[in-house]
Amino acid sequence: MTAIALPYARRRHGAALGIGAAIIVAWAVVAAFWPQLVPYEPDLLDPASRFLPPGSAHWLGTDQFGRDTFSRLLAGSRPVLLVAPAATALAVVAGALVGLAAGTYGGVVDEIVMRVLDAVVVFPSIIATVLVVALAGRSVTVMVLVIAASFVPIVARSVRAATLVEREKSYVEAARLRGERSWGLTVREILPNVSSTVIVEATSRFGDAIFAAATLSFLGLGQPPGSPDWGASVSDNRLWLQLAPWTVLAPALAIASLVVGIALVADALRGRWEAGRS
């Protein structure tokens, strides 16, 4: 077992966990109740008030259609909190399993798995994306699957690498000598020790998933055009970054805040968990 340095156990994760959890809960509440919270209808066009800077009438200004940025920011939390977590979770679970299997069994299994993953990675996903958009039509499920599929090789590769390192350590060797079977050994001994890698992957992938989802929305798959989805808002308003920076920065900061919130929680949970185990 990796010796968890003693000070670790004493360390407090309360503050980080609290801040992270507060961010996530706040956005979740917004996602659930935005229709009650928004000052304007998020889709309401108002040609008379285009590109208004932040002010008392529009706290975060308006965009090229005269839509209220603040209202769209609140409404945009819902699609983000539906798609990205689902896709990330799917990708991390599948990728971690594949990576653990490849790393644990090694040999032919490893070889085959890694070569298949290589092919997936090497295949230019622009082509796949274009195809899926054209054939699958608009569906949140398809969106989640496409994003997850594209993340699996990345997660798998990282987890496999971490597994290889762990596998060679003495505690694993010892367990193996005790006659433990490979998979049980993996789950009990290796998995906890590659968890930091898995968490790093999960948090990194989450941010990517938001933008991958936005890209698909943008292509007409998944979110309908004009969706207040944060990623889609950032890409839609990009051209006006100089003229109306608030339309880009607000959703971009929202994304960053959510990603950071999740990272804080994940980090703190891991710390507590490891502390608990030692």
Partner 1 sequence: MRFLLRRLVAVPLTLLGVSVLVFVTTELVPGDVARTILGREASAESVARLRGQLGLERPLPARYADWLGGFVTGRWGESYTLRVPVRDLVLDRLSASMLLAALAFALLVPVAVTLGLVAGVNHDRPMDRLVSVTGLALGATPEFVTGVILLVVFAVRLRWFPASAKAPDGSSLLARLGHLALPAFSLVVLCTGYVARHVRAGAVTAIESPYASAAELRGLTRWQVVRRHVLRNSTISATSALGVQLQFLLGGLVTVELLFNHPGIGALLLSSAVDKDLPTLQATAMVLGLLYMLIVLAADVAFRLLDPRIRLGAAS
Partner 2 sequence: MRELPRPFDRPGPPVAAKHVISAAAVPAMTRRTLLAGTGGGALALLLAACGTGDGVASQTGADTTAKASAPPRPGGTLRAGSPPPPTAVDPVTMYDGSAIAIVQLVAEYLIWLDRDFSLKPRLAEKWESEEGGKRWAFTLRQGVTFSDGTPLDAETVKASFDRLLDPDSKSAALSAFDTVLAKGGVSVRDAATVVFTLERAFSDFPYLVSAGNYNAVILKKDYAGNFTKKPIGTGPFLLESYDAASGATFTRNPKYWEPGKPYLDGVQIKFYADDQADLLALQSGEIDAQILSRPQLVGPLKGIGDITVDQVQGTGLTAFTLRTDRAPFDRKEARQAVAYALDRPGVNATVYDGIGALGNDHLFAPLFPAAPGDVPQRAKDPAKVAELLGGQPLSFTLTYDPPSKDYALTVQNQLKQAGIQVELEQRSSADFYGGDQDKDTPWLFSTANLVGWAGRATPSQFVIPMVKGGGVWNGSKYANSALDAAADAYDAAQTDDERKAQAEIIAKALHEDVPVIVSVWSGTVRAYNAGKFTGIQAHPSSYVDFSSVSQVV
Task: Using the structure block, give the residue that is written with the tokens 């703190």.
Answer: 268
Least distance CB 102 / partner 2 (angstroms):
19
Q: Taking Cα atoms as reference points, which of 33, 22, 129 lies closest to residue 78?
A: 33
Contact pattern from residue 212 through residue 251 relative to partner 1, giving x for each residue in contact according to CB under 8 A and a dash for the rest = -------------------x--xx--x--xx-----xx--
By the rule CB under 8 A, 50 interacts with partner 2: yes
State how far the Cα of 63 lies from the Cα of 70, in Å rounded to an integer. 10
What, of partner 1, partner 2, none, does residue 218 touch, CB below 5 to 8 Å by kind?
Answer: partner 2
State how far the Cα of 255 lies from the Cα of 151, in Å rounded to an integer. 19
Q: In 168-244, which ranges are continuous DSSP H helix?
A: 170-177, 182-185, 191-219, 230-237
What, of partner 1, partner 2, none, does residue 34 touch, CB below 5 to 8 Å by kind?
Answer: none
> How many amino acids of this chain bind partner 1 (CB under 8 A)?
61
Q: Which of 4, 28, 140, 149 binds partner 1 (CB under 8 A)?
A: 4
Burial class (CB in 10 A: 0-12, 13-18, 19+), 21: middle
Percent of the chain as helix, strand, coil, to the nearest 5: 75, 0, 20
By the rule CB under 8 A, 22 interacts with partner 1: no
By the rule CB under 8 A, 212 interacts with partner 2: yes
What, of partner 2, partner 1, none, does residue 220 touch, CB below 5 to 8 Å by kind?
Answer: partner 2
Amino acid found at 173:
E
State how far the Cα of 216 lies from the Cα of 224, in Å rounded to an integer. 10
Q: Which of 16, 21, 26, 45 binds partner 2 (CB under 8 A)?
A: 45
What, of partner 2, partner 1, none, does residue 66 touch, CB below 5 to 8 Å by kind?
Answer: partner 2
Sign of CA dihedral 215, 216, 219, 220: negative
By the rule CB under 8 A, 259 interacts with partner 2: no
State how far the Cα of 122 lies from the Cα of 29, in Å rounded to an integer. 40
Residues that bind partner 1 (CB under 8 A): 2-5, 8, 11, 13, 16, 105-107, 110-111, 115, 118-119, 121-124, 126-128, 130-131, 134-135, 154, 157-158, 161-162, 164-165, 168-169, 196-197, 200, 203-204, 207, 210-211, 231, 234-235, 238, 241-242, 248-249, 252, 255-256, 259-260, 263-264, 267, 271
